A and B are shown apart, each in its own frame.
Chain A
């Protein structure tokens, strides 16, 4: 699931921080992408918040405030470089930028937010490198924020650009060496393994257990959790909880309940079901036949205060796509015919 706007459920939304409006011109050019029209809606909806008085602490986060600061001081603020947004104009240009901004000083926020950043944009776009290529390949940019955020790279031009490249080169060479070493090691170990195991044609993995008779390891799910093998209906036999889908028996309540459900869903045999019931009803076979063939079941039996009454959950997995359902039942058992039988089944 990517966070691209390809999701079918709903479009991405844009975050708005404080009174700074999102530029409108971007929305005009953004017909290619979904999120951008949505920004228009959001802008319209948030119009009232734009009219709110500017909070003192929120102003720091607007793009233009630092420029005004520079205007009053007349020289670069030493604190300014630590702020992300003021970096939109590099320190050397600060005085000039301040002069440019002057005519707009009295303009409302939304006008000042639209002052073109021509030189910056051009220098950013005309510079080579992967990032700018990607930037050009992407049709519209949703907001000017990324440009201003990337701007700090502008003042430290060639030297800075070259230095990381060189470091990257060193690093990549190191990694090539490491990678080569790993590759050699892998080849050698693979060769060793094949020579050692090649002589025996035995399969490496034991055969998977069948789904109805789950092997004993699955009673400790934590150790087998990584395997794709079924967590579905791993048998559990505890005093307070019996889970499984095996053939059961006649010697206890939970056993006969398992036998009952097994006869119903696995054997699909109305007669076998009836034999497990004290008072079998009619048409059992027709009920069974109504269940899609291939339905898997899983029985969970929990004791109740009444030793003959059991709280039973039958989880069902229906064949085509594994749609599942659950039947919640109270099942009453009673001793009969030299064993235990089902006396009553109620929906719970």
Chain B
């Protein structure tokens, strides 16, 4: 890596404003929230993109409390999301959890404002309200901590995705393993070997003490390696998006331009 030249490399995403991704976990404590925040931060910093991190958890996640540090100015606020909006230290829009939130609605509201959308869905992968996003082609980032049992549950989540949406779903799925302790207790080689040919990306996010600490996360305390890893995830999302556009073109040829 040429980290001598640039501390922060840009993610390879052609049109960030078209990015819609959900971050899901097979188990609790898998770093879904911090990964959601991290992807939004890396996209904001690396591509100077307008991006929203959205709390899409079922039962009230803490994304807003964790990373929303400044009030949003009224010009950028979305009326329907009102008091749930804030801005992170890196300038990403943060949308907190709301009662009866329709993830697809929030997605389209923010898409209309040309924001990239990254949804923290937590463990609610199987929730009905997440399906429209996946069906609409949102990329999926499956996260797990680098521990044996949660990894097995991540496999369960992947199996469920394949069983529900077909094997193609893996082609727009990125696996992000977060190291939540300074040293790894598992060797991820067999998992990496097995998944890399199937999924759009397999990324290990290194341990970062500033994420392990409770309280508000400030992107200026994150290590370069951490942001680099998130940028790797974004690269994979960019590849997915590029593939999608090809498909869209094919669709248009097939069904005509009208609808």
Binding site for B on A (CB under 8 A): 1-3, 7-17, 38, 41-42, 45-46, 49, 221-222, 225, 231, 240-241, 260-261, 264-265, 273, 281, 283-284, 286-288, 290-291, 300, 302, 304, 311, 313-315, 317, 321, 323-327, 329, 345, 347
Which secondary structure dominates chain A's binding surface?
A: mixed
* Residues in B whose Cβ lies below 8 Å from that of A345: 257-259
Do A325 and B194 touch across chains, with their CB atoms under 8 A apart? no
- Beta-carbon nearest neighbor of A1 in chain B: B156
* Residues in A whose Cβ lies below 8 Å from that of B156: 1-3, 7
- Beta-carbon nearest neighbor of A42 in chain B: B187
18 extra A-B contacts, CB within 8 A, seeds A3-B149, A12-B152, A302-B109: A3-B156, A7-B152, A8-B159, A10-B195, A13-B187, A13-B191, A41-B187, A42-B189, A222-B100, A241-B105, A281-B258, A288-B256, A300-B104, A311-B108, A325-B137, A327-B259, A345-B259, A347-B252
Segment at the A interface, from B89-97, B128-136, B207-215: B128-136
Chain B 34-88 interface residues, beta-carbon cutoff 8 Å to A: 79-80
- Beta-carbon nearest neighbor of B135 in chain A: A324
Bound-complex Cα distance A11 to B159 (A): 13
Do B137 and A326 touch across chains, with their CB atoms under 8 A apart? yes
Bound-complex Cα distance A165 to B80 (A): 60
Do A326 and B257 touch across chains, with their CB atoms under 8 A apart? no
* Residues in A whose Cβ lies below 8 Å from that of B195: 9-10
Q: Which 5 A-B pairs have the closest CB atoms?
A: A287-B256, A1-B156, A10-B194, A324-B135, A42-B187
* Residues in B whose Cβ lies below 8 Å from that of A313: 108, 136
Residue in B128, B131, B155 whose beta carbon sits within 8 Å of that of A10 in the complex: B155
B8 within 8 A of A: no
B12 within 8 A of A: no
Residue in A2, A38, A315, A327 whose beta carbon sits within 8 Å of that of B190 in the complex: A38
B254 within 8 A of A: yes
* Residues in B whose Cβ lies below 8 Å from that of A49: 183
Do A41 and B189 touch across chains, with their CB atoms under 8 A apart? yes
Residue in B109, B112, B129, B259 whose beta carbon sits within 8 Å of that of A260 in the complex: B259
Do B257 and A1 touch across chains, with their CB atoms under 8 A apart? no
Selected A-B contacts with CB under 8 Å, 20 pairs = A1-B156, A1-B157, A3-B152, A8-B159, A10-B191, A15-B185, A15-B186, A16-B187, A41-B190, A45-B187, A241-B105, A287-B256, A287-B257, A290-B255, A311-B112, A313-B136, A325-B137, A345-B257, A347-B248, A347-B252
Bound-complex Cα distance A258 to B179 (A): 49
Bound-complex Cα distance A12 to B166 (A): 23
* Residues in B whose Cβ lies below 8 Å from that of A10: 155, 190-191, 193-195
B239 within 8 A of A: no
Bound-complex Cα distance A159 to B158 (A): 48
Chain B 89-142 interface residues, beta-carbon cutoff 8 Å to A: 100, 104-105, 108-109, 112, 128-129, 131-132, 135-137
* Residues in B whose Cβ lies below 8 Å from that of A14: 148, 186-187
Residue-by-residue, is B177-201 near A (CB-CB < 8 Å gives 1, otherwise 0)? Answer: 0000001011111110111001000
- Beta-carbon nearest neighbor of B137 in chain A: A326
* Residues in A whose Cβ lies below 8 Å from that of B136: 313, 315, 324, 326
Chain B 157-183 interface residues, beta-carbon cutoff 8 Å to A: 157-160, 166, 183
Do A16 and B108 touch across chains, with their CB atoms under 8 A apart? no
Bound-complex Cα distance A9 to B156 (A): 9
Bound-complex Cα distance A49 to B74 (A): 54
* Residues in B whose Cβ lies below 8 Å from that of A283: 256
Do B128 and A7 touch across chains, with their CB atoms under 8 A apart? no
Chain B 221-248 interface residues, beta-carbon cutoff 8 Å to A: 248
Do B259 and A302 touch across chains, with their CB atoms under 8 A apart? no
Query: What is the distance, in angstroms, from A316's C-beta to the closest C-beta of chain B?
Result: 9
- Beta-carbon nearest neighbor of A273 in chain B: B258
* Residues in B whose Cβ lies below 8 Å from that of A12: 148, 151-152
* Residues in A whose Cβ lies below 8 Å from that of B108: 300, 302, 311, 313
B251 within 8 A of A: yes
Residue in B79, B128, B135, B188 whose beta carbon sits within 8 Å of that of A13 in the complex: B188
Do A264 and B258 touch across chains, with their CB atoms under 8 A apart? yes
Query: What is the distance, in angstroms, from A136's C-beta to the closest C-beta of chain B?
Result: 25
Do B187 and A46 touch across chains, with their CB atoms under 8 A apart? yes
Do B129 and A261 touch across chains, with their CB atoms under 8 A apart? no
Bound-complex Cα distance A231 to B105 (A): 14
Residue in A9, A38, A288, A321 whose beta carbon sits within 8 Å of that of B159 in the complex: A9
- Beta-carbon nearest neighbor of B160 in chain A: A1
- Beta-carbon nearest neighbor of A37 in chain B: B190
B9 within 8 A of A: no
* Residues in B whose Cβ lies below 8 Å from that of A241: 105
- Beta-carbon nearest neighbor of A312 in chain B: B259
* Residues in B whose Cβ lies below 8 Å from that of A46: 187
Query: What is the distance, in angstroms, from B199's C-beta to the closest C-beta of chain A?
Result: 9
Bound-complex Cα distance A290 to B80 (A): 38
